[in-house]
Amino acid sequence: MDEIRKIIHIDMDAFFASVEQKDNPELKGKPIAVGGDGNRGVVAAASYEARKYGVRSAMASKIAKKRCPHLIFVKVRHERYKEVSNQIMNIFHEFTDLVEPLSIDEAFLDVSENKKNILSATLIAKEIKNRIKEVTGLTASAGISVNKFLAKIASDYRKPDGIFVIPPKDVEEFIAELSVDKFFGVGKVTANKMHQLGIFKGKDLKERTLIDLNRLFGKNGTYYYQIVRGIDNRPVNPKRIRKSVGTEHTFENDLLELEEIRKDVQKSAKDLCKRLEKSKFKGRTLTLKLKYSNFEQETRSKTLLREIKGFEDIMQIADDLLNQGELKTSIRLLGLSVSNRINESEPLQLTINF
């Protein structure tokens, strides 16, 4: 019988907003939003006080202000958040080297074997939370279970500043009663499709055969078949590879003219060059993201047989993508990203995708 793994998912509570409240005590207990407060501003993060009014991340700032008229906006400070994030990641490594960051404010930890020889994953999670509070003054929530899928779900159950454990003996019953909306990897569109098929909870999903799920959901069908049975053998990977580097810009006023749009593409290309250089990322695919004034979104991509390198290279490809088809209406957001990472130990694949 395989040894039962002990996986912890740590998720910082309202991270950006909590950092701002910690650094500025006057903001403590008040509804704040990190982001721009202009007409085209977007909420990057909201404090729990703001969330009570329905303010959420990725929400347009003008909608957030309508929901919470006394909302306080704070400018984003990426360098500060990165500094605090590094402190938190260092704390994780006090307990185990099997740490897989998912983002700046969350990570998986495999503590099946740990540096402090603590047998209980729950005790480890409590110690980590205490260390985070001691070092940063911030709170975190922890989910604990036998695999990454369940640990990720568990960390949302006692937010903020909580711990939730799904022990091996409870896994089957827990998943059976879990709403498919809560399944990590099931988005809103897929959840709606499942509802239309009479699939509302894990027990409904488990009734479907593997063939049925693959027919209904394509390649994701196998994933749904496994996770509803508590099967997730993905290891905690401390060497998780970055898949893309990008930049995007929301405009104060919609861009109407192609020349106007091209000027912003140039600015985005320069910013992208800096980010590629800083991250040492090398990729073959350039993607142009366009969001129109009606909020419809379009992406256009081109893949080369070689590395996309330098401003001129990016601009030439971006121009090709801009001219690939007519723009449907005025542009409210534009983004550029490089993906399809080059593994220097492997030969280039002889494929081109448009």
Active site annotation includes 106: yes
Please state, as a whole number, how many other Cβ atoms lie within 10 Å of the Cβ of residue 352: 10
Nearest in space to 138 (alpha carbons), one of 309, 19, 247, 310: 19
Nearest in space to 114 (alpha carbons), one of 87, 96, 136, 131: 96
Nearest in space to 12 (alpha carbons), one of 47, 60, 53, 55: 47
Which runs of E-coded beta strand occur in 69-196? 72-74, 99-103, 106-110, 140-145, 163-165
d(CA 139, CA 132): 7
List all residues 6 or more positions away from 336 whose beta carbon is below 8 Å from its beta carbon. Answer: 246, 247, 248, 265, 268, 269, 272, 286, 287, 288, 289, 314, 318
- 147 touches 233 (CB < 8 A): yes
Nearest in space to 291 (alpha carbons), one of 319, 259, 264, 320: 264
Task: Please identify which of the residues 20, 49, 100, 106 carries the catalytic annotation.
Answer: 106
Which residues on adjacent β-strands are paired with residue 283? 341
Kindly list the catalytic residues. 106
